[in-house]
Structure 1
Amino acid sequence: MTIAFNLIGLVVSDMSRSVAFYRMLGLDVPAGAESEPHVEVTLPGGLRIAFDTEATIRSFDPDWTPATGGSGRVGLAFACADPAEVDATYADLLTAGHSGHLPPWDAFWGQRYATVADPDGNHVDLYAPLPVAATTT
């Protein structure tokens, strides 16, 4: 038996709002997905991300309840082309009504970094490498 990780699943409270959020981050979500109870997107390399409404999950797990206690327990990260794109994407998401968690900053590990919350409170990181400082000899 060969086991292969091939899907990330998110349970969403509002499919339309979640689809809009992830489209802003470049996911090629199919047209009409806003009204579907289950949506899958194949990412480069074959990994898939799936979105299921709470009602879909309850259809086979009637005792399912959403996590409580603040932010979600899943973290996703999206690479941006450069630090300016991190800042612009963060601003665009806030302008669209989504919540910021950590505004853009220059992280000590050499990346421009920011964190937003998706419509269900899951943290979504935006990052890009910082320019390498030129050294003089």
Structure 2
Amino acid sequence: MKKRMIALSVLCLGIITVATASELISNKKNNTITQAQPTEIVIEGVGISQKVEATGNETIRIEGTNNKITITGSCNAVKIEGVDNVVTVDDVKSISIEGTGNKVNYKKTSTADGKVITAVAGVNNKITKI
């Protein structure tokens, strides 16, 4: 029943929102480059199959049920809230999951110690290095 309520709620939303920000802000006055605020990409819905190209500064947030997301490139974080989502990512520093039956497969991490930072709440969630 809980899964159906979550799926129905997410289905009603059914919105894919992509919030973007510029990567770098250049200050020519004193020749400095300042890193912009991290970008958040939000994917919400049910049964979405999507490919996202990350450039290193993004947080990718997936909310919903039965989504299949492939993230190419490097990103700061992947955050999942939902049921039965499958995410494959090339390079990620942090993974957090809330829900049931979610799977994240990652190829590598760019953290200083070489270990991805994880936080998992729920049951049957799995994070695997491939």
TM > 0.5: no
RCO higher in structure (CA 8 A, sep ≥6): 1
Normalised by the length of structure 1, the TM-score is: 0.23
Structure with the higher fraction of residues in strand conformation: 2
> Which structure has the larger Rg?
1
Structure with the higher fraction of residues in helix conformation: 1
Normalised by the length of structure 2, the TM-score is: 0.24
